[in-house]
Amino acid sequence: MAILVDAATRILIQGITGHTGTNLANRMLDENSPVVAGVSPSRPGCEVSGIPVFASCHEAVRATGADASFICVPAAFALDAALEAIDAGLATIVVYAEGVPVHDGLAISAFGRARGARILGPNAAGCISPGLANLSDLNAKLLMPGPIGIVSKSGTLTYEVIDALNKRGLGQSTVVCLGGDPVVATSHADVLQMFDADFDTRAVVLIGEIGGRSELDAADIVARMHKPVIAYIAGLHAPPGKRMGHAGALLGSPEENVPGKRAALERAGAHVVSDILAIGDAVWRVLADKRLHQPAG
């Protein structure tokens, strides 16, 4: 059906009484996404658009059975919010804030792995399984259910891929945005393995960028996958030493550039495209070649 979130997911929003949290809650409700609780230590007992607000994740989980959290608090408070969510037993957690200190990001990642929680971020748009649940800031109205999984560092580039797939009648099983900070808790490789095990995902689109080793490590998984992977790496013309958008999009070792990552993925068997607008056609051709093609509908 999907990975990370589905129709059985029960979502809580940490920081729901803030501007970002309130807007997110209203949009999720409008999309019929399963939001059951909010958390605000300073305003427990109130409601946001009918959603009950609790003082802590522990109280929210006990009262509502929430199992996923979208954390939209300022970067300075992200560590405490994430540790609380993990300690409360939430299975999938999105850390939305950009600019979370690197040491805080490392602590979130380590504690999440120790407790078996799946953390997206920091600086992550989140994840969405169209028609089932939206734990992201992506607009669900622009997606449609289908057989293609997407894993990406960038929410913006993800929209381009979604549009290209939709034009081909190829909807999405789940879209996962990892986050663009130098340290993120979940990697491309982690998500590729989940998609490979998902019965209803027939192909995966991998969107990467310069900087870091996530795409290089993903190549080891691509080589062992049963499902085709179509990949695009952004930042071909990025000058050395210049950060491109995300804090993590900064060239380090020579292999962290576009040619290095493309070469690693191609050697592993991925179908690598040089133009993000060509992804829809590339996915269509790959599915047709493998007799896996079936438009959404």
The residues that are catalytic are: 246
From the list 219, 232, 194, 233, the residue with the least C-alpha distance to 269 is 219
198-202 long-range CB contacts below 8 Å, 24 or more apart?
198/1, 198/2, 198/3, 198/149, 198/173, 198/174, 199/1, 200/1, 200/2, 200/147, 200/173, 201/3, 201/147, 201/148, 201/149, 201/173, 201/174, 201/227, 202/147, 202/148, 202/227, 202/287, 202/292, 202/294
The whole-angstrom distance between residue 147's C-alpha and the CA centroid of its chain comes to 17
Residue 122: cis peptide before it, omega within 30 degrees of 0: yes
Q: Quick check: 203 and 229 in contact, CB under 8 A?
A: yes
Q: What are the DSSP E strand ranges found in 17-83?
A: 35-39, 47-48, 51-54, 68-71
